[in-house]
Amino acid sequence: MHDKNCSLFCRCHQAARPGRPARPRCQGSGDAAAMSRKRQRQQLADSLGRSAKHFNKREVECLIKLFDTLVAESSSRFAAAGFDRNMFRDTLHSAFGMTDDMIMDRVFRTFDKDNDSCINVVEWVEGLSVFLRGTLEERIKYCFEVYDLNGDGYISREEMFQMLKNSLLKQPSEEDPDEGIKDLVDIALKKMDYDHDGKLSFMDFEKAVRDENLLLEAFGPCLPDIKSSMAFEQKTFQEARKL
Amino acid sequence: MGAALARAAQWTAAGSGTGTLEITPLNESLLNQIIKFAEDFSTRHPQEAAFVFREPLEWKTQLGCSVFEEGYEIHGATVQSEAKGKDGQPLLLLTASTLRVRSFDQLSHLLQIAMEKKLKEAQACLEANRDPIMKILGPECGTVEGEDMSMLHLLEKVKKDDDPETEMKMKICLLLHQLDLQLLNSSLKHISQDVRLNPAAINNEVNLLKNFSGKGEDTVLESLEYTSDYMFCNGCRAPPWRQVHGEICYLVIKPHDTDPLYITCSTAGVFLNGGKDDIDYERKSDVYKDIVTFLRERSPRFVKNMAKQEYNFFKEPTYEKNYQRMEVVDAKVSGQSQNLYDLTEKNVCEKVKSSAARRRSIDKKKLEPSMKWKNTGKTSGRFEDISESSSETEEDEEQPVRRQEGNTDLPSEYWGIQKLAKYLKGGNPTATVIALCSMRDFNLAQETCQLAIRDIGCLEVLINLLDTEEIKCQIGSLKILKEISQNTLIRHAIADLGGLQIMVKILDSPDKDLKCLAAETIANVARFKQARRTVRQHGGIKRLVGLLECISVGSTSLTPYQSKDTEIARCGALALWSCSKSTKNKEAIRKAGGIPLLARWLNCSHANILTPVVGTLQECASEPSYRLAIRTEGMIENLVKNLSSEHEELQMHCASAIFKCAEDKETRDLVRQHGGLQPLSVLLGNSENKQLLAAVTGAIWKCAISGENVSKFREYKAIEALVGLLSDQPEEVLVNIVGALGECCQEQINRTIIRKCGGIPPLVKLLTGTDQALLVNVTKAVGACATEPENMMIIDRLDGVRLLWSLLKNPNPDVQASAAWAICPCIENTKDAGEMVRSFVGGLELIVNLLKSKNKEVLASVCAAITNIAKDEENLAVITDHGVVPLLSKLANTNNDKLRRHLAEAISNCCMWGSNRVTFGETKAVAPLVRYLKSNDPSVHRATAQALYQLSEDPNNCITMHENGVVKLLLAMVGSTDETLQEAAAGCIANIRRLALATEKAKYG
């Protein structure tokens, strides 16, 4: 099921970066390696428990465990250090019922802070922290990043068009199917573009969302809905408790 | 004929008194029918024709003596009939120009000789005798408003005594009723012919025809157009100077088969005008009742195609209804407006000159958009619904109002909303949310937008969105529904579309925002009975009560999490408040365990949640179970505490909860113990907010039923404040104020206070009111005041007793009883009471007749009043003449101790005149009285013993008493500690004994 780009994205990124907790080695053999991995994971959980403010240490451990499980389930071929794009997409789809590929790619990019096309365990935990339990500020920032397709700090008219282009039922009678989308973009701009520059800055977006929370996911679902996030949390955190 | 004369006939001066019959076709036909009836009477009903009227019909005639010939004796200007009544008086008497007639025979004869002056005579007769039936048959048969019982009374009489005269009366009465019906029928026909057109009816007809007009074979017309697009605010399109002629608008109609028709629509009907390029207002054809009738006459094709369209007609029920709608103009009104026309006619010439200028300005105005939508854009605010406070009575008040809607001149909002509706219908959740958010930018509080949403069909979509799994869409939709459900029409539409069921389901959602919104919307929608029932039947009450369950009650500083919970509870309480207006919902809330939860929230300190909580409680306090719970769950303390809140609405609900609960004595005590009387007294100072004032005065009234509370109120100077509020208040406030004063007056010192601060004149003035509840309270208060001789002087000076007495005529038994009770102290404390009572013409007869009432309280109070009246010998003689003795005797068989006591007192006092003692014996009052001694009420014993003592002065009564075993009973009473009782019992026994001795002496000599 991996497409051919996959190998590109899945290239290993083993080198530890400064300022980040040591990354668990994915490959290892023998007891010593297992022991050291366990210890590393312990350290990692400690430090993440402190840095990711919405999870406690135990929850962090559960998430790491889930990460390991999911990574292990995936192809062993690359012995990946994290999720690649497809794996992440599958996870989003199965755990949170997301369907829009473009949005899911953007979510992947947003999780992938270091832009190495691979979500490592730290990015995973920190991303989920906002994704599941983020404050309004965090979520506004997150959503804006998702919607700012080219990352230039603005959601432009074209980007909106891209994101909304599938949002209307195609009606055979309509002369120009894009016309409806363009109108919808206009409506959205009218509603949210406070400085009238024809594109949404972060300021615009933040103001609009604070005014009307529903606009947080104005251009497509990029956060879990309450039911699936509750189900996910329950499954992840409670199964661990049983163990 | 009484009813016909009173209602159908057109009198010049409104109301009763002297008026004259106008010369109108309607009146003329009524008179003619009456004349025919009277003329034929002697031949058709010879027996009845001989019946002598109770009072003569008397009027100023125009007939001279000369017309009277056979059968009359003429002495100068005086004419007498030869026929005489039983009493020897002539049945017809003409002195000067005054004519008195006393039988139908004479009446018909008179009409026959009057010849062409018939009509004038009949008119003069009816003008002088506004209620002829009363004169003919006596006052008991007079025309009354509402249910006419005279026939029944007569029938009863006929059944009872076989008096041929009564039977005769009955027959005449029947005949007259028949005439009455006949007159009403024919006048109805007259009025209904007078159907007039109005702008709305024409507009509807035009719209209807437009729907079936256009190119093509099957349409009824080629086209039809108004000549002017500009419409005045009264719906007319004709220029004002033509409107005075009743013209409404002008149309150009192009039928398929004739030349264009230029027609005028006026209030009188539809006709062809001089038409062509400029309107020539001259009428060129007959007047038709509407456009369709007009066209049927003019265009055969119209008739033909109309027949084809028939089916479609009925497919459009609303149009069909409007099409039929025409205004039946009350003939009287049209008469008046006729006068108006005459007046304005003079000005018309001047107006015509300036018409050209006017026309130009009108043309300019053509371009103006119609203001119709704006005018109807009245936002229905929340307050109207809040005032629908207590329960059942107002439940059905909220009827959907059908507003007339035009297809033209849609406002810009309409198109904007329609555009968004497209995305709601055909978009994925993302597009839907954007559209929903954008829709909220319209002013949803405006009726234009509310109705636009409904009319576009958007409401269905919004409700369908609620039924999806998309929380964001649900929230967005509810945010809109919450706003627009302020409108009555929308509320009904939401309920009709099944929105309530879905919202109730949403209450189970894990999303707190969603729950809040659903509850708030339910609160808005459930303002009418059917909606409230729907909520209950779908398990909504239980879920709403569930929203109140949360942990964080009482804390002052809230975490965001807790404040969310408080918000949920607030919304839940709001919805429960709306629902609690139905009795079954009150029950359901209780069963769902709502009371302890409400009690818990009552502890918190946030006005925004306290208001709906207390609102619900006061609504439910109409149920005894809630009143008990409010007392026992310690809610009184919190209610009292919140009386001092700074939110007037909250204060009002607290006060009205106390108002309803303080019927129970323990609650009243609790209010005092928690210091609630002072804040209540303080709130009397806020006389601006009438709703608050009504609730506060109500609470004071009920609390003042306890004497301890009254002392407190006196301490807080509440009595002075209440007296100060007696003027210029709405009735619901006055009822409570006067009720409170009535309770306070039970203490002597307060009666003095009321006098000193000038409370008596306003109270007496209120006796002239009409509100029944108010009258009950006022009479009670006045009666209580009258126990003070100094107060009584003021009441007497203000003629208060006469006012009280006239309230005995009030149809409401509560008022009657209360007035009779109030009369008692008045008689007791007036110096020349006997004289005063006699001065009320017919007063004594009136009160004696109240002894025929079926209401125990009325009977007891009237007996008490009679006791007092009978203290004056002359008055006793009068009431004896009016038959008080048999009426009292008839009441003797009662088990009601209150009535027994006052009845015995009345009997005892009535014995003092003539042969009344004997009559009481003959009417079998004695034996039942003896049984009263077995009652448990000591006051009954005392009154009965006194009555028996009085009655025992007659030997026959002694025998009856003895036979009924009175001696043993009385002997026991002699041992009583009550001296009056002792004395009366002993006196009675002595009388019996003396009789026995005398008999023995007579026997054995």
Among the partner residues B434, B510, B513, nearest to A184 by beta-carbon distance: B434
**Residue B518 and residue B503: Cα distance in Å, rounded?**
5
Using alpha carbons, list the distances in angstroms from residue B664 to A57, B669, B711: 60, 9, 18
Lowest mean pLDDT among A95-104, B16-25, B436-445, B989-998: B16-25
Best mutation target, B428, B430, B478, to test chain A (most A CBs within 10 A): B430
* Whether the Cβ atoms of residue A2 and residue A86 lie closer than 8 Å to each other: yes
Across the range B55-68, mean pLDDT stands at 80
Asked if residue B561 belongs to a domain, the reply is no
Are B271 and B287 in contact by the 8 Å Cβ rule? The answer is: yes
Residues near B277 by Cβ (< 8 Å), separated by ≥ 6? none
- Token pair recorded at residue B635: 């809610």
Tell me the C-alpha to C-alpha distance, in Å, between residue B491 and each of A93, B494, B500, B502: 40, 5, 10, 14
B565 vs B376, more confident: B565
Q: How far apart are CA B779 and CA B776, in angstroms?
A: 5
Sign of the CA dihedral A218, A219, A220, A223? Answer: negative
Is the domain defined by A54-242 classed in CATH 1.10.238.10? yes
Contacts of B482 in chain A (CB under 8 A): none
CA distance to partner chain A, nearest, from residue B712 (Å): 53
Distance from CA of B425 to the nearest CA of A (A): 9
Q: How confident is the model at residue B986 (pLDDT cuts 50, 70, 90)?
A: very high
Closest Cα in chain B to A192 = B438
Long-range contacts of B308-312 (CB under 8 A, 24+ apart): B308/B218, B309/B212, B309/B218, B309/B220, B312/B212
Catalogue the long-range contacts made by B885-888 (C-beta closer than 8 Å, 24 or more residues apart).
Answer: B885/B910, B885/B916, B885/B919, B885/B920, B885/B923, B886/B919, B886/B923, B887/B848, B887/B851, B887/B852, B888/B851, B888/B863, B888/B920, B888/B925
Best to test chain A binding among B420, B424, B438, B474 (most A CBs inside 10 Å): B438
Whole-number pLDDT of residue B470:
86
Alpha-carbon dihedral of residues B128, B130, B133, B134, nearest 10 degrees? -90
Task: Measure the CA–CA gap between B48 and A233, rounded to whole angstroms.
Answer: 100
**Average pLDDT in the A100-126 region?**
88
Residue of B nearest to A169 (CA): B426
Count CA within 13 A, CB hemisphere, residue B403.
18
Q: Where are the domains of chain A?
A: 1-51, 54-242
**pLDDT band, residue A178 (cuts 50/70/90):** confident
**DSSP-derived secondary structure letter, B269:** E
Residue B395 has pLDDT above 80, yes or no: no
Residue B450, min C-alpha distance to chain A (Å): 20
What is the reported pLDDT for A7? 37
Handedness of CA B509, B514, B516, B517 (dihedral sign): negative
Least confident of A24-28, A228-232, B883-887, B1001-1005: A24-28
Same domain, B139 and B28: yes
CA distance B558 to chain A (A): 18
pLDDT band at A171 (very low <50, low <70, confident <90, very high): low
The C-alpha torsion from B418 through B420 and B425 to B431, rounded to 10°, is 170
Range name among A227-231, B83-87, B429-433, B842-846 with the lowest pLDDT average: B83-87
B3 with B90, same domain: the answer is: yes
Q: Which of B26, B5, B32, B28 is nearest to B188 (CA)?
A: B26
Any long-range contacts for B652-655 (C-beta under 8 Å, 24+ apart)? B652/B689, B652/B691, B652/B692, B652/B695, B652/B696, B653/B611, B653/B614, B653/B615, B653/B617, B653/B618, B653/B695, B654/B614, B654/B618, B655/B680, B655/B683, B655/B692, B655/B695, B655/B696, B655/B698, B655/B699
Domain final residue, candidates B157, B176, B193: B193
Q: How many domains does chain B have?
A: 4
Q: What is the pLDDT of residue A28?
A: 42
**Local confidence band at B498 (pLDDT 50, 70, 90 cut-offs):** very high
Q: Once rounded to an integer, what is the mean pLDDT over residues B141-149?
A: 58
A189 contacts in chain B (CB < 8 Å) = none
Query: Where is mean pLDDT largest: B293-307, B365-379, B934-948?
Result: B934-948
- Provide the CATH number for the domain around residue B228: 3.30.2280.10
* Cα–Cα distance for residue pair B434/A214, rounded to 1 Å: 8
Residue B203 has pLDDT above 80, yes or no: yes
Where in the sequence is the domain holding B973, given as residue range(s)?
883-1004
CB contact under 8 A, B437 and A221: no
Average the pLDDT over each of A8-17, A46-55, B592-601 and give the range with the smallest value.
A8-17
Tell me, yes or no, whether B211 and B157 share the same domain: no
Indicate if the pLDDT at residue A47 is higher than 70.
Answer: yes
Note whether A214 contacts B433, CB cutoff 8 Å.
yes
Residue B933 within a domain: yes
Interface residues of chain A, partner chain B, Cβ below 8 Å: 163-164, 166-169, 171, 180, 183-184, 187-188, 190-191, 212-215, 217-221, 225-227, 230
Whether residues B428 and A166 touch (CB distance < 8 A) is answered with yes
Q: Chain B residues contacting A, CB < 8 Å? A: 419-420, 422-423, 426-431, 433-438, 440-441, 471-472, 475-476, 479, 510-511, 513
User: pLDDT value at position B190?
Assistant: 67
Indicate which CATH number applies to the domain containing B936: 1.25.10.10
Contacts of A180 in chain B (CB under 8 A): 422-423, 426
Cα torsion angle, B200, B202, B205, B211, sign = negative
pLDDT at A80: 58
User: Residues of A with CB below 8 A from B427's CB?
Assistant: 167-169, 184
pLDDT above 60: residue B430: yes
One domain, residues B91 and B231: no
> Which carries the bigger pLDDT value, residue B982 or residue B135?
B982
Asked if A220's CB is within 8 angstroms of B430's CB, the reply is yes
Interface contact flag, B430 A171, Cβ < 8 Å: no
In a domain, B636, yes or no: no
Contact present, B857 and B813 (Cβ < 8 Å): yes
pLDDT at A203: 93
Indicate if B961 and B939 belong to the same structural domain.
yes
The answer to whether position B623 is within a domain reads no
Matching residue, tokens 């993440």? A48
H-state helical runs in B485-559: 488-496, 499-506, 512-525, 529-537, 540-548
B410 burial (CB, 10 Å; 0-12 / 13-18 / 19+) is middle
Is residue B533 pLDDT above 90, yes or no? yes
For the segment B324-345, what is each residue's pLDDT rounded down to a tens digit?
A: 333 333 434 444 444 444 444 4
pLDDT band for position B565 (50/70/90)? confident
> Can you count the helices (H) and strands (E) in chain B?
58, 11
B412 has pLDDT over 50 = yes
Reported confidence tier of residue B319, pLDDT bands at 50, 70, 90: very low
Nearest alpha-carbon partner for B228 in B216, B243, B211: B243
Q: Which of A180, A218, A225 sits opposite B433 (nearest CB)?
A: A218
Which of B145, B174, B193 is a domain's end point?
Answer: B193
Judged by average pLDDT, the poorest of B177-181, B575-579, B863-867 is B177-181
**Structure confidence at residue B526 as a pLDDT band (50, 70, 90):** very high
Q: Say yes or no for a CB contact (<8 Å) between B430 and A218.
A: yes
A175 band by pLDDT with thresholds 50, 70 and 90: low
The DSSP symbol for B99 reads: E
Nearest by CB to B438, from A187, A221, A230: name it.
A187
Smallest CA–CA distance, residue A95 to chain B, in Å, is 17
- CB contact (8 A) between residue A191 and residue B441: yes
Q: In the predicted model, what is the mean pLDDT of residues B17-44?
A: 75
The verdict on B189 and B203 lying in the same domain is: no
Mean pLDDT of chain B: 81
Residue B849's closest CA among B812, B821, B888? B888
Q: Quick one: closest CA in B to A191, which residue?
A: B438
B223-226 β-sheet, strand order: B223-226, B247-254, B261-266, B269-272
Give the pLDDT score at B535: 94
Q: What is the pTM of this model?
A: 0.61
Can you tell me the distance from the alpha carbon of B581 to that of B575, in angstroms, rounded to the nearest whole number? 11
Residue range B582-635, pLDDT digits in tens: 999 999 999 999 999 999 899 888 888 899 999 999 999 999 999 999 999 889
Question: Is the complex ipTM higher than 0.85?
Answer: no
- The pair of three-digit structure tokens given for residue A106, joined into one six-digit string: 């953007």
- On chain B, the residues whose CB falls within 8 A of the CB of A168 are 423, 426-428, 431
Rounded Cα gap, residues A27 and A79, in angstroms: 7
Of A145-154, B303-312, B493-502, the least confident: B303-312
Residue B322, pLDDT score:
41
Q: CB of B59 within 8 A of CB of B25?
A: no
Phi, psi of B291 (to 5 degrees): -65, -40
For the ranges A83-97, B74-88, B401-415, B777-791, the one whose mean pLDDT is highest: B777-791
Q: What is the pLDDT of residues B818-833, one digit of tens each?
A: 999 999 999 988 888 8
pLDDT the model gives residue B330:
40
Residues of B in contact with A219 (CB under 8 A): 430
Q: Is the pLDDT of residue B784 over 80?
A: yes
Give the pLDDT band (50/70/90) at residue B479.
very high
pLDDT above 90 covers a percentage of chain B that reads 35
Report which DSSP code applies to B786. T
Q: pLDDT band for B224, please (50, 70, 90 cuts).
A: confident
Burial B13-32 (b: 16+ CB within 10 A, else e): eeeeeeeebeeeebbeebbe
Question: What pLDDT digit, counting tens, does each position of B718-769 carry?
Answer: 999 999 888 888 888 999 999 999 999 888 899 999 999 899 999 999 999 8
Amino acid letter at B234? N
The least confident of B239-253, B373-387, B570-584, B845-859 is B373-387
Q: Which of A163, A166, A215 sits opposite B437 (nearest CB)?
A: A215
Shortest distance between the Cα of B762 and any Cα of chain A, in A, equals: 57
What's the whole-number mean pLDDT along residues B636-643? 92
Question: How near does any CA of chain B get to the CA of A48, in Å?
Answer: 25
Query: What is the average per-residue pLDDT within B922-938?
Result: 90
pLDDT category at B10 given cuts 50, 70, 90 is low
DSSP B94: E
How far apart CA B64 and CA B117 sit, in angstroms, is 11
| Cβ separation B476–A220 shorter than 8 A | no
Query: How does residue A138 score in pLDDT terms, banded at 50, 70 and 90?
Result: very high
The pLDDT of residue B135 is: 78
Q: Which residues contact B628 (CB under 8 A, 6 or more apart)?
A: B664
Interface size A-B, in CB pairs within 8 Å, comes to: 67
Residue of A nearest to B429 (CA): A167
Instruction: State which of B479, B508, B526 marks the end of a domain.
Output: B526
Whether residue B159 is predicted with pLDDT greater than 90 in this model: the reply is no
- State which H helix or E strand residue B327 sits in: strand B327-328
For residue B475, give the chain A residue with the closest CA.
A214
CB B668 within 8 A of CB B711: no
Instruction: State whether B280 and B177 are in the same domain.
Output: no
Cβ contact A168–B476 (<8 Å) = no
B562's tokens: 């807790």
pLDDT band of residue B504 (cuts 50, 70, 90) is very high
How far is Cα B893 from Cα B2, in angstroms, rounded to an integer?
40
Categorize the per-residue pLDDT at A147 as very low, low, confident or very high, splitting at 50, 70 and 90.
very high
Average pLDDT, chain A: 79
Task: Check pLDDT > 70 for residue A118.
Answer: yes
Query: In terms of domains, do B255 and B110 share one?
Result: no
Q: Which residues of chain B lie closer than 8 angstroms to A166, CB-CB?
A: 428
